[in-house]
Structures are given as structure tokens and as C-alpha cells.
Amino acid sequence: VPMGVLSCMKYLMFIFNVLVFVGGTCLVGVGVWVAVDPAGFQDIVAAKPVLSAGAYLLLAVGIALSLLGFLGCCGALRRSRPLLLV
């Protein structure tokens, strides 16, 4: 396999993992916003228990995606197979 292909794959994996990390961070932000100020979202979701459960679900998924994106970025930069497999 030519060296240029490996270098391109490394950068593509890094960019993909950065996008996953940014998406997870945005989900965490929205989850915190809904948990702290649910009044703005009560028009969208009528039941309050559903709203609070949704906020915590957004937080959990966002934290998981951010962690996976960060580990993927580290794995892509260091060419670490175990980090990329996570």
C-alpha cells in the first residue's frame, strides 16, 4: 500500500472523528440547555417527565459520542489500532 494512501486515510479518519466529537459536544450542549431551562421546550414536548428524560438521554449520548470522537482522533493521529477499534 503506497504511503500517500495511508496518510490520506489517517487524515480522513481524523476529520471523521472530529465531526463525531463536535456532534457529541453539540448534543451535550443541547442536553444541558434543556435540563437547565426546560421552559423553552415545553411547547414542543407537552409532558414534563418526557422532557427531563430526553434531556438526560441527550447528555448521555452526547458524552458517549464526544468520548468516542476524542479517542478516535487520538487513535488516528497516533495510528493506534486499539483506539480506533473502540
pLDDT tens digits for 53-75?
788 898 999 999 999 999 988 88
Q: Does residue 85 fall inside a structural domain?
A: no
| Integer angstrom CA distances of residue 24 from 12, 20, 30, 43 | 18, 6, 10, 25
Q: Does residue 82 fall inside a structural domain?
A: no
Q: Does residue 5 fall inside a structural domain?
A: no
| Distance between CA atoms of residues 8 and 19, nearest Å | 17
Given a contact cutoff of 8 angstroms between Cβ atoms, the answer to whether 28 and 69 are in contact is no
Q: Does residue 43 fall inside a structural domain?
A: yes
pLDDT band per the 50, 70, 90 thresholds, residue 9 = confident
| Residue 24 pLDDT > 80 | yes
Number of compact structural domains in the chain: 1
The pTM score is: 0.78
Q: pLDDT value at position 85?
A: 78
Q: Does residue 4 fall inside a structural domain?
A: no
Q: Does residue 35 fall inside a structural domain?
A: yes
